[in-house]
Structure formats: structure tokens, C-alpha cells
Amino acid sequence: MAILLIRHAETASNAARVVQTPDAPLSSRGEVQAGLLARRLAGEGVAHILASDFARAARTAALLREATGAPLGLEPLLRERNFGEIRGTAYADLVVDIFAPGYRPPGGEDWEAFHARVDAAWARIRDAATSLEGHLAVVTHGLVCHSLTTRHFEHAGGDPPGLRFDNTAVTQIAATPPWRIARLNCTAHLPRDPSDPSDR
């Protein structure tokens, strides 16, 4: 039994480097990625799926549900950090570092509020995982994956340098303490494109 932490598939906003809005749908490439993820996990014993209710995560999770037959629950605690009025802005047009430790986006969440929400999501994940006889798939967002991985999971040798979570990457965590990571940012189900540094 394991927790499978999954980042949603690609959106057009991902590809265009735009701070995403909650309703951003998957791109055509993202639909393919989500389908490949679903095929990969179809026979892997997924017993339940929890997902952010933002469109890109919910769609990724819906395809996973179709492939596995596992029930799906939408969990608002798993939403991406709320960047408020910054959402919809191209990264190239930003005049501040929205990831800086003390930055609070206008109308959005500061890091403290975001991490507190992720902590509540983690409690929900733990509760769900303990009652299952199979794997729990958790479909969420990059910053949520990062917050969980760096603050709640144990990884041999500490956090790896350049920690990243690619679209539809699977991070596998033991479902019991000390919540050790067995696989990190695995995209073995995706085709390799040597010209695309994000396709790893």
C-alpha cells in the first residue's frame, strides 16, 4: 500500500508560462499525458483517488478513475497556492518574485497560509490512506507536491537538489510512518523528447 502523489497534466498556461487560473483546462498534450498516466496505473492497485477540484487536476483524476475504477473525491485543500490578482499573468510580465519567502500576492495566500492548508490536506491524505487496502492516488499541483515532499516526507540523503515535479509525475510514498519516498518525480509513462528539458 502506498500514497501516489501526482501532479496534474499539462495545460496551455503551463506551456505558455502563465500563472494559472483555477479553470485552466488541459492542453491537447496534457490530455495525452493524463491518458498515459491512467494506462500506467490501471493495473497498479489504486483503491481511491483524492484530487484538487481545480479543472486541470480534476480532469487528470477523472481519466485515472476511468482506467482504475477507483472512487474519486475532490478535495479543495489540495488546490494550488492562491496567487490572487496575479493569476492569468505571464511570468515574463511579473515585476516581483512571486515565490519569494515573504511575498503575499494581492488577494491571495502568503506562504504561511498556504503551508497551513497543505498541512490540513496532509491530515486528510493520511486518514484516507490508513483505511485502504490498495494505493491512494493524490492528484494535485506543483507547489502542493513541493510543500508535502519537503515538509512531511522522508527522503534518503535529504531533499535532492533542484527538486521538481513534472506534469503527471508520480512520487510514491510509503503509506505508514516515516512516510519514506520510494520514487520521486517519475515520468516513465511519458515519451521522451530530447529537445524539451521539461520532458523528464
Tracing cell 508535502 back to the chain, one arrives at: 148
Is residue 197 in a domain?
Answer: no
- C-alpha closest to that of 41 among 142, 163, 188, 140: 188
Is residue 196 in a domain?
Answer: no
**Residue 199: its pLDDT value, please?**
37
**Residue 114: its pLDDT value, please?**
98
**Residue 131: its pLDDT value, please?**
86
**Residue 192: its pLDDT value, please?**
77
In angstroms, the CA 107 to CA 167 distance is: 27
In angstroms, the CA 133 to CA 83 distance is: 37
Q: What is the CATH number of the domain that holds 173?
A: 3.40.50.1240
Is residue 149 in a domain?
Answer: yes
**C-alpha distances in Å from residue 135, one per residue of 20, 33, 147, 149, 170:** 29, 20, 21, 18, 12
- C-alpha closest to that of 78 among 121, 111, 30: 121
> What would the pLDDT profile of 138-180 be if each residue is shown by its tens digit?
999 999 999 999 999 987 666 566 799 999 999 999 999 999 9
Is residue 195 in a domain?
Answer: no
Which strands form 2-7's sheet, in the order they lie side by side?
A: 72-74, 46-51, 135-140, 2-7, 170-174, 181-186
Cis peptide before 178 (omega within 30 of 0): yes
* pTM, two decimal places: 0.93
Indicate the number of domains in the chain. 1
Is residue 178 in a domain?
Answer: yes
Confidence of residue 200 (pLDDT cuts 50, 70, 90): very low
> What would the pLDDT profile of 5-59 be if each residue is shown by its tens digit?
999 999 999 999 999 999 999 999 999 999 999 999 999 999 999 999 999 999 9
Is residue 152 in a domain?
Answer: yes
Is residue 198 in a domain?
Answer: no
Q: What is the 3-state secondary structure (H, E, C) of the chain?
A: CEEEEEECCCEHHHHHCECCCCCCCECHHHHHHHHHHHHHHCCCCEEEEEECCCHHHHHHHHHHHHHHCCCEEECHHHCCCCCHHHCCCEHHHCCCCCCCCCCCCCCCCCHHHHHHHHHHHHHHHHHHHHCCCCEEEEEECHHHHHHHHHHHCECCCCCCCCCCCCCCCEEEEECCCCCEEEEEEECCCCCCCCCCCCCC
**Residue 156: its pLDDT value, please?**
62
Domain of residue 141: give its range: 2-186
Is residue 192 in a domain?
Answer: no
* Cα-based angle 195, 198, 200 (whole degrees, multiple of 5): 90
Confidence of residue 193 (pLDDT cuts 50, 70, 90): low
